[in-house]
Structure 1
């Protein structure tokens, strides 16, 4: 869940604890006592009156004839969306230590929302607004609950996802459009996205026990133990001048007049909680809002906290910053939000700004998230895998290009930051990676980083991070194509999933690579498997990737036409039309095809194939998930054991 609504800058001076109840804090947030000129700092508003004054002032300076963005009105989050991401063992996180696999995640012990979850005794999926529960032992569907009607008008086309703890599932639904009260002077009422979280009890037949709604759209969420942290982005609810009215100057003046009349209710996120037969509402209080030294007034980012072991959802204990965030990364003890401000450079402002990603660090070890530090690095991130915390340092990989246009002047680098008081300071860096290219994949494993850049060929760089003050590139491997996801394979090896390409950079279909990185100075590719003209969800969404280490089994969904495919031994086999899950055994000599799994078409789709979305293992059974249902396949022999339709 990503999007864009950019702000001008981040800043802070002192570790800021945002605590206390929403309406009446038990103690006021720490006040800014000043700091070095030009230093980054984040401060609390003096009062609600001061908050409104500053928000209006910043918004007036940022608004133009088309609102806050190039598409008019308040910047739509989806207008610039990216196609919406202790050592190697800690980072692998693709499989549980028990007899079942978990969601492939960035950090072990930090769960991420996905469309399917299992705890070994049940499998829970949410597709097309329906939550389904499967007993993997009996291979039967034991529960079904419609949570969200398919007809709901969604803010974006994202999928529903869920988190699981014990007998509770927290379902995160894509934001839907909600029309607010009528705007002044007969203008159309502003529509705005509303995020929705649904708590489901799974102890018996699944039932809704809590329903939480808040202004904004979901960015992402993370779960450690029973605690879920949910990040929401919102924009002010303002009805700007229609784009066809008058001149640019008059439209800008009219938009500034709209801002001058706006109240705090137009900026601060409102929420509603439905549980126990009662509905209660509230608004994030001024005491819970902080601001950077420079901001646009165009967006807010809120971190919500929920205890999934509790009997109720509660208010979410919101903490809000008058700025933006688009990428979420959690190391467990700390949560990071980043903002690269691409929409601002893309045309929402006439002022040219440099490629910069701003980073916000929260302490999430207990209770209310505590803002700790902020900093920035040159360039922009590809996804959360470009961030990694290790031994008290944050490593960040970015690409810097010519004003966001990804031209031939682009270059990439890795920066190492450390918390120093209220600032994240850069203590080391290595730059100049892949000139004229951009980053396609990053993986940090312990004290080594792996960076893939691409334009026509695929350099895989290894970066030595043992000395945070002096990171250095130690090896480089150039091959055709690229990897867009990297995953540890153990024994000094690394998987890559991406696309094969010609010498001129023309993609040729899904490619799974096995890299030997035991010698960081001389990385090599030990094996590959190519599906000609194929494409896999795992190339852009690591949740679609499964590596089940006990069976040395790699599974990815692949969509392919009826064309020839290269076999692991270099020969050519006959591809089958449609889509399915490709299972590869990983051995000393590389890949061998264990089998493929296909699902019958969903009767409501009107097509003769079904796209498999996810794979997981429970015991000795491979389960594959699509919008049509779940299929159980025996790991021994890859034989079909059961088909459970969910539509």
Structure 2
């Protein structure tokens, strides 16, 4: 009977036992510490009782400070000497340990003085094999492909919002003054260069009433242009390209394909006869690209097929690059150009490539590969920041809840930040850290006077059991936290943010739009100065001088629900003019509502869609106009562009360039993507056509169709 009870008890324990997974990087830097995260909470006294301890390479116990963070799931070791270590974990360290089992009881890691490049294939394979073991033990397939795998693309004083400086033509609405961002349309004041489906069209606009296509740049079938830059007389075309992977031995009928980010450099001294200078590229999807002082930088992210390591012949897991100047196809990066970023557990690479365009034909393309994902990119003239989501391990309880509800529940995530120095075309890693919560986009971060600032949302607005909250963090030049404002707007999430020197502005939303004004002039003690609650929310904030902001977003209203809580209904597009002269009392000075429910602009998710003319105080953007009193029924009315005059005094409609239609659906081919000016003319650019207007009267001048 006793034996039977033991057997039954053993079976019950096996069924009831929850697996506890651990996530921890294999690399740390001596001055930045090391941490490990668990899928279940640890006992508060787990460290004190010796249920968590560290040994060195000889197996000797290491007297190291260990701290259990507030979430009770993460331990941090602030300081360790250079060397190889193991974290030992007893099951009694975990709360409810009697009913829980550890997937790993030992975690190996190394502490380095500075970031070290790899030496050989064995070091790289060891990294991926450790990830596969941890992934298998966790019972979460793809656990380590999450970090940095979200496809995002953006999106000196970072408050500038440059868009039309002293030149007599438009420039891109960039986040940082002097740092150009790639876009689908560029102009040099005489010609407009625009991505049009699978080609780039160069249009002569010197006579707006008689525009003409100067040249169409066609590409091979597998190349799709995405972004453009102009640097002196060099046109840069970045695009995605599909290519067969190089294979050794016999040629197979099927060869694995990979995505490359390809760069074509053209001499456009004579735009009607551009010549291809050079083509090069790296494996992976484009994270972001920047151009400053003639130096081009771009970052790609790629997840290798590391499961080939389970095959007898293994396979190549290094990222590839190519350069027509070398006269060869795809080649794997040398090991000495690859490093493991500290604090990362990603099964993906971030690849940083740079070239000086002063002599594009002969200058070297410099490429560095880093194990560690990247989603967002922020860059100044001499610093580059990459960020990636750091997903917390999921507990068995959370997995069971997800299965029971037959829905996918998003994971809680923090944000890893990696900082690099830029010196000409040389890129050097400087520091890394992790902050609580997730970034919204590139405007969620900023650097000023040597300090890095970021705003994040922790948790989810819909989770009533653990409401979301929002934070602002300030980090020093080594990415050590020196100040913060935390737990703002519980139950809401960030919809937009903007840093303007010693002030930060943040919009959160759930039912109303709180605009927070935060003083960050003293990095060690930032504080909220003022808050404004209004209907609607802003997706994008644009500076207007020192004391005003323009918000572009949506109008909203609360609609009653029988026997339930009122629901938020999105109305038309909303422009808000905020007066922040009195920081403690921000005011919504003027508003403009465009259309009804369903109306939207690409500006609401792509800041580069904003047209500005500083001298004339003009602001414009593409609009798709819908009518409808609620979101249940909307009707498409037309599309085009709207131009406004916006000054500190108010918002005035200047030109309505919307074209009505009898069609019930939008026409992608003629939908306005960008608006720009050259001299005394305004141009709207669509995938298949350009229209010109007089910049004074906004009277229509001409239409040029590409096809």
TM class, shorter-chain normalised?
A: 0.7 to 0.9
- Alignment counterpart, residue 614 of structure 1, candidates 636, 657, 674: 674
Residue 269 of structure 1 pairs with residue 319 of structure 2? yes
Match of 1:335 in 2: 384
Residue 233 of structure 1 pairs with residue 233 of structure 2? no
Counterparts of 2:619 and 2:457, CA distance in 1: 30
Match of 1:132 in 2: 201
RMSD over aligned Cα atoms: 3.8
More displaced stretch, 488-497 vs 587-596: 587-596
Could you list the per-position Cα deviations for residues 92-135 of structure 1 after superposition, in whole angstroms to 9, with x for gaps in the alignment? 21222222221001101000000011232332112212212223
Are the aligned partners of 1:481 and 1:505 in contact in 2 as well (CA < 8 Å)? no
Counterparts of 1:346 and 1:165, CA distance in 2: 51
Q: Closer, same or farther in 2 for the Cα pair 1:13/1:631, shift >3 Å?
A: farther
Shift of 1:236: 1.4
Shift of 1:492: 1.1
Match of 1:203 in 2: 269
Shift of 1:346: 12
Shift of 1:486: 0.3
- Alignment counterpart, residue 12 of structure 1, candidates 19, 25, 29: 29
Counterparts of 1:618 and 1:383, CA distance in 2: 30
Match of 1:251 in 2: none
Match of 2:604 in 1: 539
More displaced stretch, 525-534 vs 266-275: 266-275
Match of 1:214 in 2: 282
Q: Which residues of structure 1 form unaligned runs of 5+?
A: 1-6, 16-31, 241-254, 566-574
Match of 2:499 in 1: 444
Are the aligned partners of 1:231 and 1:302 in contact in 2 as well (CA < 8 Å)? yes
- Alignment counterpart, residue 192 of structure 1, candidates 255, 258, 277: 258
Q: Closer, same or farther in 2 for the Cα pair 1:164/1:353, shift >3 Å?
A: same
Matches within 5 A, 1:494-573: 494-503=549-558, 504-531=567-594, 532-533=596-597, 534-562=599-627
Counterparts of 1:549 and 1:444, CA distance in 2: 20
- Alignment counterpart, residue 146 of structure 1, candidates 217, 232, 236: 217
Are the aligned partners of 2:147 and 2:391 in contact in 1 as well (CA < 8 Å)? no
Partner secondary structure for residue 160 of structure 1: strand
Counterparts of 1:217 and 1:346, CA distance in 2: 31
Counterparts of 2:330 and 2:242, CA distance in 1: 18
More displaced stretch, 267-276 vs 190-199: 267-276
More displaced stretch, 433-442 vs 309-318: 309-318
Structure number, greater radius of gyration: 2
Could you list the per-position Cα deviations for residues 161-185 of structure 1 after superposition, in whole angstroms to 9, with x for gaps in the alignment? 111101111111135364664999x
Could you list the per-position Cα deviations for residues 338-385 of structure 1 after superposition, in whole angstroms to 9, with x for gaps in the alignment? 1113597699x9899863211111111323111111112111100111
Residue 112 of structure 1 pairs with residue 199 of structure 2? no
Could you list the per-position Cα deviations for residues 550-581 of structure 1 after superposition, in whole angstroms to 9, with x for gaps in the alignment? 1111101110125699xxxxxxxxx9822111
TM-score w.r.t. the length of structure 1 is 0.81
Match of 1:85 in 2: 155
Q: How many residues align?
A: 582
TM-score w.r.t. the length of structure 2 is 0.74
Match of 1:371 in 2: 429
Partner secondary structure for residue 296 of structure 2: strand
Are the aligned partners of 2:638 and 2:659 in contact in 1 as well (CA < 8 Å)? no
Are the aligned partners of 2:536 and 2:556 in contact in 1 as well (CA < 8 Å)? yes
Match of 2:455 in 1: 397
Q: Closer, same or farther in 2 for the Cα pair 1:42/1:490, shift >3 Å?
A: same
Shift of 1:481: 1.1
Partner secondary structure for residue 282 of structure 1: strand
Partner secondary structure for residue 477 of structure 2: strand
Match of 1:58 in 2: 130
Shift of 1:582: 0.6
Q: Closer, same or farther in 2 for the Cα pair 1:295/1:576, shift >3 Å?
A: closer
- Higher relative CO (Cα under 8 Å, sequence separation at least 6) belongs to 1
Residue 95 of structure 1 pairs with residue 155 of structure 2? no
Partner secondary structure for residue 366 of structure 2: coil
